[in-house]
Amino acid sequence: MENSDYQFETLAIRTQCPSSQYREHSTPLYLSSSFTFDSAEQGSAIFKGQEEGNLYSRFSNPNTTEFIDKLCALEHCESGIATASGMAAVYTSFAAILVQGDHILASKDIFGNAQYIITQILPKMGVEYTLVDVDDNTAWAQGVKKNTKLIYLETPSNPTLKIADLRFIANIAKSNNIVSIVDNCFATPYLQNPSDFGIDLVLHSATKYIDGQGRVLGGAILGEEALVKKCYEFIRRTGACLSPFNAWILSKSIETLSLRMDRHCQNAKALTEWLQGHKKMERIYYPFLSTSPQQALAKAQMKFGGGLLGFELKGSVQQSMEFLNQLKIHSLTANLGDSRSIATHPASTTHSKLDPIQQLEMGISPSYIRLSVGLENVNDLIQDIDQALYKIK
Ligand SMILES: Cc1ncc(COP(=O)(O)O)c(C=O)c1O
């Protein structure tokens, strides 16, 4: 779309690929592995990059292009590439930029599989790493080495919702010629735009809020053209591209992202406030919590507090498990960002590949519970949690 002055909601809906000769209003699904050329010369020109055009769906497709154009507009980024999943986005961004002998400085507070890539896969390729607390600016500054090429983090972090100081970290990266990468999937572009703070690449697991209904996997890498091109060259050859079908679903989902995020955030805020008064709560985690020392930073970076919250119950791990088993509406599953509310026990599921010491270093206690607050009526959600809390001994 030409007018980049349009607001978020308009860009999310009106950024669309051109309609075909059938003049359809809603973008159709382009299920085609390859695309034809008008002439042999055109085929050659497109292959050489002298003429723009779709060639083969591992390289580009009208549905993936529309999905990426929307995300670029919403994330204030000039270029992007769609990936098969969030993890494909994470791995691609590392593999496309790092070489043997480099160092990656990353947050400890990240999704377990991202930590696995950094600590188990990259060292096999001769890339060393340092992990720091996401909210410790001194540790970020001190962690930079001569061979540091990448800084990687999530904010809010998975699962304990810690907030990174994006401007501070972007400045460290810029002054040391390091590429900074932020996984923005917990906030979504509706709540936070890392590139506005100087972050180089923004990643998404579109599987979460961007789909918003727990249907398909997808991911994206967004940022400055030269960096995205490196990632594109990697994906184009290694194949972790987004399927046109998933891109079609995700692009339609983006049309309602703002409405859904408003409700996710309202529900999560109301639930957090209710939990604060409950006698069985040991500690509550929410980026906009009035008692959190990170509230001011979170408010400076995010429009609202997000749809995720966490808590520890008073008592043993067994009581947390019992609480989960008593829930009637909340689903027990490892996803998040769905219209359906989800309760997760990170220590035994999403972060179970980390040993108990690593979990504690990340602030994940054995009784920590993460809630992805959905779009149901919040009074029903409160009632569900209330009855489950009442039943635990
Ligand atoms: C913060 C974060 N980033 C990335 C991922 C991976 O995304 P995907 O499941 O789409 O590969 C997840 C999955 O839970 C996540 O929570």
C-alpha distance from residue 229 to each of 80, 153, 195, 224, 253 (Å): 8, 21, 17, 9, 26
* Bridge partners, residue 34, by sequence: 56
* Half-sphere CA count of 81, side-chain side, radius 13 A: 29
pTM of the model as a whole: 0.96
* Bridge partners, residue 104, by sequence: 129, 150
> Using a 6 Å cutoff on CB, does residue 154 contact ligand 1?
yes
> Using a 6 Å cutoff on CB, does residue 200 contact ligand 1?
no
| Closest protein CA for atom 8 of ligand 1 | 86
Predicted pLDDT at 3: 59
Segment 10-36, tens digit of pLDDT:
999 999 999 999 999 999 999 999 999
List for the chain the helix, strand, coil content (%; round to 5).
40, 15, 40
How many whole angstroms from 49 Cα to the centroid of ligand 1? 33
How many CB atoms are closer than 10 A to CB 380?
A: 11
> Using a 6 Å cutoff on CB, does residue 87 contact ligand 1?
yes
> Using a 6 Å cutoff on CB, does residue 344 contact ligand 1?
no
- DSSP string computed for 324-392: HHH-SSSEE-S--S-SS-EEE-GGGTTTTTS-HHHHHHTT--TTEEEEE--SS-HHHHHHHHHHHHHH-
Q: Is 304 helix (H, G, I), strand (E, B) or coil?
A: coil
Segment 350-390, tens digit of pLDDT:
888 788 888 888 888 989 999 999 999 999 999 999 999 99
Domain ranges of the chain: 9-254, 257-391
> Using a 6 Å cutoff on CB, does residue 195 contact ligand 1?
no
- The atom of ligand 1 lying closest to the CA of 350 is 14
How many whole angstroms from 218 Cα to the centroid of ligand 1? 9
Distance CA 272, CA 292 (A): 12
- The atom of ligand 1 lying closest to the CA of 186 is 1
Q: Is 182 helix (H, G, I), strand (E, B) or coil?
A: strand
Q: What is the pLDDT along the chain (393 residues), one digit of tens a residue?
A: 655 789 999 999 999 999 999 999 999 999 999 999 999 999 999 999 899 999 999 999 999 999 999 999 999 999 999 999 999 999 999 999 999 999 999 999 999 899 999 999 999 999 999 999 999 999 999 999 999 999 999 999 989 999 999 999 999 999 999 999 999 999 999 999 999 999 999 999 999 999 999 999 999 999 999 999 999 999 999 999 999 999 999 999 999 999 999 999 999 999 999 999 899 999 999 999 998 999 999 999 999 999 999 999 998 888 999 999 999 999 999 899 999 999 999 888 888 878 888 888 888 898 999 999 999 999 999 999 999 999 997
| Closest protein CA for atom 16 of ligand 1 | 111
How many whole angstroms from 261 Cα to the centroid of ligand 1? 18
Which CATH code is given to the segment(s) 9-254?
3.40.640.10
> Using a 6 Å cutoff on CB, does residue 111 contact ligand 1?
yes
Record: fold of 257-391:
Aspartate Aminotransferase, domain 1 (3.90.1150)
Q: Which amino acid is at 285?
A: Y
Distance CA 154, CA 135 (A): 11
How many CB atoms are closer than 10 A to CB 123?
A: 11
How many whole angstroms from 87 Cα to the centroid of ligand 1? 6
Which residues touch 218 (CB under 8 Å, ≥6 apart)?
67, 82, 83, 84, 85, 86, 205, 206, 207, 210, 211, 242, 246, 247, 250
Q: Are strands 103-107 and 128-132 parallel, antiparallel or unpaired?
A: parallel
